Amino acid sequence: MEQALKGIKILDMTHVQSGPTCTQLLAWFGADVIKVERPGGGDATRGQLRDLPDVDSLYFTMLNHNKRSITLNTKSEAGKKIFSKLVAHCDALVENFAPGALDRMGFSWAQIQRINPRIVYASIKGFGPGPYEDCKVYENVAQCTGGSASTTGVIDGFPMVTGAQIGDSGTGLHLALGIVTALYQRTVSGKGQRVECAMQDGVLNLCRVKLRDQQRLKNGPLKEYPQFPNGEFGNAVPRAGNASGGGQPGWIVRCKDWENDPDSYIYVIAQEGAFPGLANAIGHDDWLNDPEWNTPEARLPKLDEMFSEIERWTLTKTKFEVMDILNRLNVPCGPILSMEELANEKSLRETGTVVEVDHPERGKYLTVGNPIKLSDSYVDVSRSPLLGEHTDEILSELGLDIEEIRQAKEHGAV
């Protein structure tokens, strides 16, 4: 079976998390991803959050599978010549440096196009054009500036960041789509183009429903929010705790042994069509003929009470028992799965979503494989490269002979 992006060469100037997640996806689909790293330390994440001395961290290994690594000082004259060859050789250049870094190296978009008019030049920055365009940005800054933090958290509490890396990995995913779209357009236009994704924009795109609610707020209270009917709404979309955010009420309720297990909870959605089954299951068939309970409108002002009654029942069962019973009744629900449970989940191993990888220095470790499944393009998750592991091989593919490679090393370019 062929791989979807076989033959596509990616010049990967990415570091930390956002850019590497993008190029890792492209590598999983079969692109040849050449990761350019500074001689010496390389991508800073190789050394960050290390759990084993002198071994590439899981932070790095889990973001850089299926890539090759070349060390190259792109600020030295000899390094710039090699970099120009890489630009000519590749289909896309991907970077997520601080704003202007590539221009400061002498590689503006105009210069890159002169070298290779077919190249797609893709970048992640914290912000698009505007007052903050020069700022450096990390994950939580993007979550805060993209609308996620202001709309996440308990009702009267602080704004809250989420564990899902929507700023970094989310924007990497957006950028990957931009790159394959630009490569597709190139098949018609014959030309490359610039692809830019700002992390603020990526997070805001994922918070689309909250901008929806901001506009609904002008026309009355947000009735599905826990603030309704007793609390006050201000001018902006409030934090909504664990309310579902869609048209169907939902909440997290405790399950058996919650006192000892911090993840013994389940999310239950009291969807209108499945409500009779839910009411029966929790021993409240009296609700079905009671006008105080038997319509969504009647239940809306007393969702607290409804979820307390559901919880009285879930407290007698494990989250998996609740999942089994309610799913048979078509009640959407989801147990709160811990990372430990996910790591050991058999079905995720079988689909390749959780994969065990072998690394020459660290040994075996678990990673999240490609979550996007194509029926005609296989993914074989292979380990991340050691720093500069493929330097000689890549230089010779660029046409450098043994003597030229020796000189590049002597000049400290690689």
Ligand X SMILES: CC(C)(COP(=O)(O)OP(=O)(O)OC[C@H]1O[C@@H](n2cnc3c(N)ncnc32)[C@H](O)[C@@H]1OP(=O)(O)O)[C@@H](O)C(=O)NCCC(=O)NCCS
Those residues whose C-beta lies under 8 Å from the C-beta of residue 163, and which sit 6 or more positions away, are none
Catalytic position from the list 168, 213, 257, 324? 168
Nearer to ligand X, 133 or 393 (CB): 133
Nearer to ligand X, 227 or 367 (CB): 367
Nearer to ligand X, 123 or 271 (CB): 123
**Triad 196, 201, 207: Cα angle to 5°:** 150
Cα end-to-end distance, the chain, whole Å: 36
Give catalytic status of residue 168 as yes or no. Answer: yes
Nearer to ligand X, 200 or 264 (CB): 200
Q: Is the bond preceding residue 276 a cis peptide, omega within 30 degrees?
A: no
**Three-state DSSP class for residue 383:** coil
Instruction: Find the part of the chain contacting ligand X (CB under 6 A) among 86-94, 123-131, 328-336, 392-400.
Output: 123-131
Nearer to ligand X, 137 or 182 (CB): 137
Please tell me whether residue 394 binds ligand X under the rule CB under 6 A.
Answer: no
Contact with ligand X (CB under 6 A): which of 98, 288, 342, 343? 98
Please tell me whether residue 271 binds ligand X under the rule CB under 6 A.
Answer: no
Q: Pairing between strand 363-368 and 354-359?
A: antiparallel
* Bridge partners (DSSP) listed for residue 253: 266
Q: Which of 338-375 are b and which e, b meaning 16 or more Cβ less than 10 Å from the residue's Cβ? A: eeeeeeeeeebeeebbbbebeeeebeebbbbbbeeeee
CB of 44 to ligand X, least distance (A): 6
Please tell me whether residue 90 binds ligand X under the rule CB under 6 A.
Answer: no
CA distance 105 to 109: 12
Q: Which amino acid is at 240?
A: A
Contact with ligand X (CB under 6 A): which of 26, 34, 124, 175? 124
Q: Pairing between strand 250-254 and 9-13?
A: unpaired
Q: Which of residues 47-86 bind ligand X (CB under 6 A)?
A: 72-75
Contact with ligand X (CB under 6 A): which of 96, 116, 200, 370? 96
Query: Site mask, ligand X, residues 2-31, x = CB under 6 A?
Result: --------------xxxx------------
Contact with ligand X (CB under 6 A): which of 23, 61, 107, 126? 126
Handedness of CA 15, 17, 20, 22 (dihedral sign): negative
Nearer to ligand X, 103 or 304 (CB): 103
CB of 160 to ligand X, least distance (A): 20
User: What count of Cα atoms within 13 Å lies in the side-chain half-sphere of residue 196?
Assistant: 13
CA distance 53 to 403: 35
Q: Which of residues 132-191 bind ligand X (CB under 6 A)?
A: 136-138, 168
Token code pair at residue 6: 């076989």
CB of 25 to ligand X, least distance (A): 15
- Judge contact between 96 and 35, C-beta under 8 A: no
- Judge contact between 353 and 368, C-beta under 8 A: yes
Q: Catalytic residues, which ones? A: 168
* Binding site residues, ligand X, CB under 6 A: 16-19, 36, 38, 72-75, 96-98, 101, 104-105, 124-126, 136-138, 168
